[in-house]
Amino acid sequence: MTIFSKLVSLDAKWPSDVLTSVSVNRAKLELIGASVLATVAVIKLYDLYDNDMLNFKTLKEKSFRLLICLPGVRGIAEKQLADVDNTISKTIQKMYNSQVFLSDLPQTGLSDEHILRELSDYSHIGKVDWQMGRASGTVYCDGNRKLNDLMTKVYDKTAYTNPLHPDVFPGINKMEAEIVRMVCNLFNGNNDSCGTLTCGGTESIILAVKAARDYGREAKGITRSEIVVPVTAHAAFQKAAQLLNIRIKFIDSDPISYKVDIKSMRRAITSNTVLLVGSACNYPHGIIDDIKSIAELGLKYSIPVHVDSCLGGFLVPFMRAAGYPIPSVDFSVAGVTSISADTHKYGYAPKGSSVIMYAHKKYRKHQFSVQTDWPGGIYATPTLAGSRCGANIANCWATLLSFGFDGYVEATKKIMKTQRFLKEELSKIDGIYIIGDPLMSVIAIKSDRFNIFRLSDKLSEMGWSLNPLQFPSAVHICLTLMHTKPEVVDSFLKDIKTVVNECLLTPKDNTGGLGVIYGMAQSLPDRSLVTDIASHYIDGIYTTEWSQTNGK
């Protein structure tokens, strides 16, 4: 979930003032910006070796970054950030109902009853009723008691286990190996296929990118690694590129199908490319990229190909049996070398597990980390973590066994039936349209008649929580088992129709909320300002006291 949607879902009105001030100052910046465009020529001279500099957008960004460094301008920016801070603090105070924070250990330990009473209070803060299917994605299972009880019992038996010590907890390692094998088989892996469990999709992706980088170094001697990634692929690829210090080349989507444009992808390949990426399906629009064509590029240029099926991973293998066949996106496609699939999304396991798979051990080997000379011993770990929570592995394993193949097919049927129904009904609503032709569980909508964020703002006032998207402005709903109850879909459709009609009555209206934030955020040429605001939001989440100036 993105930061700005959180801000807005907390208080639909707050950002207007701040962002108006940001926009006003932005106007000032634009003015100065014009006169500084000359500077750009200079930067260009210094930076000519960098291809990106030939791109106007980047030029504009760089000139803004220079501007922000000028003392006067920096003052304005700092003032804005202080305002933003204050507003964020207020918003968060509201989110926590102004409750006081603990900041020191209790001198003497509290009783279990006391702690559980507190816990109950904490779990009741918040206004999105996810248990009623009001949130997009977020919680994928339908909250059935039976699964919940199983998880609690499994946790009870495995709470203190750690797969870092196979000699002490071999059972946990056996479970992990079995999960990986079962999931590789679901994805049509052969005997060479392999993988590891990770703590989530982001870790799976970071590891896939690391393995590709180090494989590229070994196999081809590539030292200035680049990965070629659809713009619609998950933000985790950017995180991976930052952490691993490799260059990421973004490829636009086809404007009609919203699948990554294969021709542009081919053009972006260089002798430094270590990985091509496709999604099945992607997070923003639920679109499945043309994996076969990406894999063909991979074969042609001998570059590994990763399929990100974090979101769809536990729908993909069951789509055919559920009666909703999709093109092959797994190891049966020649050229696919790694796949990520999240057990903690449609696998319905508690949060904290995902599977990263490889077509062959020669790739997985580069995921591992081995320190041979540490005084603490030879230290070898398969993933980013050292110690890991064995209970997560056990719970993931238990969930897979509890559902079984048929259980997942049933769940997939329910979700896909809901998706097809909703897709059909949404496409009949005048004033909005669906992005591309989503074949899986996500539906993204946009509008050319009114600001689409007014729709999500109003729906959020009605208790729904949709996810905002940008470039282009849109919102999506990610359907889970929670939404498969007829009363949930029906009330969602009813509410969406009401709101669309309202928006169409005043199509120019643009007040407050997400529209302002995303309008502002998308138009700011200097993305570092957006980064600053978002970082201050994270700071805010870690607030444990209300200062005098804050929260009034």
Ligand X SMILES: *Cc1c(COP(=O)(O)O)cnc(C)c1O
Binding stretches for ligand X (CB under 6 A): 200-202, 234, 236, 279, 282-283, 308, 310-311, 342, 354
List strand residue ranges (DSSP E) for 220-310, in order: 226-230, 247-251, 273-279, 305-309
Instruction: Return the number of the residue (77 or 180) whose C-beta is nearest ligand X.
Output: 180
Of 226 and 308, nearer to ligand X (C-beta) is 308
Distance of closest approach, residue 279 Cβ to ligand X, in angstroms = 5
Check if the beta carbon of residue 179 is closer than 8 Å to that of residue 314.
no
Show the CA angle centred on residue 137, arms to residues 340 and 412, nearest 5°: 70
Cα–Cα distances (Å) from 41 to 34, 38, 44, 259, 531, in that order, read: 13, 5, 5, 36, 26
Q: Is 279 or 447 the residue whose CB approaches ligand X more closely?
A: 279
Structure tokens given for 142: 């339908």
Using the minimum distance from each CB to ligand X, give the nearer residue, 24 or 231: 231
Q: Which is nearer to ligand X, 199 or 520 (CB)?
A: 199
Residues 226, 270 contacting (CB under 8 angstroms): yes
The least CB distance from residue 395 to ligand X, in Å, is 15
Q: Which is nearer to ligand X, 133 or 352 (CB)?
A: 352
User: 324 and 412 in contact (C-beta within 8 Å)?
Assistant: yes
CB of 480 to ligand X, least distance (A): 12
CB of residue 236 vs ligand X: minimum separation in angstroms? 5
CA dist., res. 475 & res. 490, Å (int)? 19
Exposure on the CB side of residue 525, measured as CA atoms within 13 A: 20
Nearest-CB residue to ligand X?
A: 201
Q: How far is the CB of 312 from ligand X (least distance, A)?
A: 7
Nearer to ligand X, 282 or 484 (CB): 282
CA–CA dist 529, 64 (Å, integer):
10
Q: What is the DSSP letter of 464?
A: -
Q: How far is the CB of 33 from ligand X (least distance, A)?
A: 35
DSSP state of 288: P
For ligand X, the closer of residues 200 and 525 by Cβ is 200
Q: What is the nearest approach in angstroms of ligand X to the Cβ of residue 401? A: 21
Q: Which residues of 144-164 are buried (b: 16+ CB within 10 A; e: fewer)?
A: eeebeebbeebbeebeebbbb
What phi and psi, each to the nearest 5 degrees, are found at residue 160? -105, 20
> Please, what is the minimum distance in Å from the beta carbon of residue 73 to ligand X?
36
Residue 511: both structure tokens together:
């007040």
